[in-house]
Structure 1
Amino acid sequence: MREFLVEITTTVPEGTAQDEVDRRRAAEAVRARELAATGHLARLWRPVGELRSVGVWRASDEEELHEKVLGTLPLHAWMTFAVTPLEPHPNDPGSSV
């Protein structure tokens, strides 16, 4: 699988009922755990003081990432994504080479 750096910004539409927001956020947490268990979600962070998230996601290609991974998130309709494909760096201290 390839790795992708994904920045996600979620914007709840004006006028959305709080119970709908709560329901989707709870479902989002469940789906994130499922994607982590299958290896699609490697790491996820929230920059200090911000409401966006940054994560390392895995998929066979960018099409699969959008359609079968990010597209399955319950908050997907409220999200914007900035996707950067990653490749190994020869000086990566975490590399096993």
Structure 2
Amino acid sequence: MQEYLVNIQITWPDDMTDKQLEQITVEEREMAKTRTKEGHLVRMWRVPGRRENWGLWRAKNTSELHEIIAKLPVWPYMDVKVHSLAEHPVDPQ
């Protein structure tokens, strides 16, 4: 599997109700657990003070990564930037 560093910024619509936001948040957290068990979501970091995160994701290729991310409940509200990663000769792992 290839590794990708993914930056996600979320913009909620002004007309979204608290109940809708709560439901999407619950669904998103459940999906994150599923993606973690599948080996796709490896790590996730929050950007303090922002609706933004960075994650280390794994997929066979960029097409599979797109399919995985596009199925997230928050997808319609996401701005996504993907950075492909390559092995480095001095990587300690």
Between Structure 1 and Structure 2, how many residues are aligned? 93
Counterpart CA distance in 2 for 1:5 and 1:17 is: 31
Structure 1: distance between partners of 2:78 and 2:47: 16
Secondary structure at the aligned position of 2:30 is classed as helix
Gap regions ≥5 residues in structure 1: none
TM score, norm. by length of structure 1: 0.92
The TM-score with structure 2 as length reference comes to 0.95
Secondary structure of the residue aligned to 1:29 is: helix
User: In structure 2, how many angstroms separate the alpha carbons of the residues matched to 1:14 and 1:51?
Assistant: 14
Instruction: State the Cα deviation string for residues 12-38 of structure 1 (Å, max 9, x = none).
Output: 011111100110010000000000000
Aligned twin of 1:3? 3
The gaps in structure 2 that reach 5 residues or longer are: none
Write the distance in 1 (CA, Å) between the matches of 2:25 and 2:49.
Answer: 19
Query: 1:24 maps to which residue?
Result: 24
